[in-house]
Amino acid sequence: MAKAIGNIKKELSEMTLEDQLLYCDELKLDDRKGVLKLIEGVYKKETNRLKEIKRLEELSIFELNLNENGYKYIAGIDEVGRGPLAGPVVTCAVVLKEYYIYEGINDSKKVSLKNRERLFDLINETAVEVSYGSATPAEIDELNILGATKLAMKRAIDGLKQRPDHLLIDAVELDCDIDQTSIIKGDEKSVSIAAASIMAKVTRDNLMKEYHNTYPEYDFENNKGYGTASHYIGLNSVGISPIHRKTFVKDFI
């Protein structure tokens, strides 16, 4: 007697994808539409997995080429928060575990909140090192946003326990004596920079949520300091806060 389709579905749900594929070889003899649909679903998952592996291989080209040329301790550097009217610019330096598959990793702007938080935890658990740097609103006002970003990046690098062999940096060149590669749209082209972008974004977003508790008038929890309608309502109502960048909100001083 043929096994009930519901039971087959339950069995598949309890298996790894590798075991599901093996089971599907047995199920091919069952020509019921429901079973064929289950088999099709498993093969689709495998196709998507292979596509993701290929994408991650392409995203790791810079790291792999550097490895082949003798660089072993490679740090990806990125920033978050250059555009907001308030709050610091936050940077991160990440040294990823070699050959680890960070499924779903990408430029933080292309990753959903749920997956950013998942990847944030995964990178924290598996990365060789993670270090953060920041520059305050006062430093941004004094140095300009590019200068403050570079300062924050250097602070993240200085926070690493081991000096990197090479830096992969998103669109910025730093004045330091470590070999480096500046990559335009690096968070879309380098797995290390993509990891740094996710770590910096989650960290800064959480910080702005904390600032919301102190300065609820500006809706920082939702806008993270960017110039949204709710943010401007707060500025018009109560003026600037201690965490606003004065050079960014001149009209409200």
81 and 143 share one domain: yes
Query: Which of the given ranges, 38-42, 48-52, 90-94, has the highest pLDDT on average?
Result: 90-94
Rounded to the nearest integer, the mean pLDDT of the chain is 95
| Domain range enclosing 28 | 5-59
Q: For residue 2, is pLDDT > 90?
A: no
Residue at 158 is within a domain: yes
28 and 113 share one domain: no
* Cα–Cα dist 201/236, whole Å: 27
Q: For residue 198, is pLDDT > 90?
A: yes
pLDDT of residue 42: 86
15 and 99 share one domain: no
90 and 134 share one domain: yes
* Cα–Cα dist 222/201, whole Å: 14
DSSP summary character for residue 70: T
157 and 185 share one domain: yes
85 and 202 share one domain: yes
Burial 65-80 (b: 16+ CB within 10 A, else e): ebbeeeeeebbbbbbb
DSSP summary character for residue 96: P
81 and 204 share one domain: yes
Q: For residue 251, is pLDDT > 90?
A: no
Instruction: Choose among 73, 47, 75, 52: nearest CA to 186.
Output: 75
Q: For residue 1, is pLDDT > 70?
A: no
Residue with the larger pLDDT of the pair 19 and 78: 78
167 and 48 share one domain: no
* Cα–Cα dist 69/188, whole Å: 22
H/E segment holding residue 145: helix 145-158
83 and 169 share one domain: yes
Residue at 221 is within a domain: no
pLDDT of residue 195: 97
Q: What is the mean pLDDT of residues 195-222?
A: 98
Based on the structure, what is the number of domains in the chain? 2
Is 28 strand, coil or helix? coil
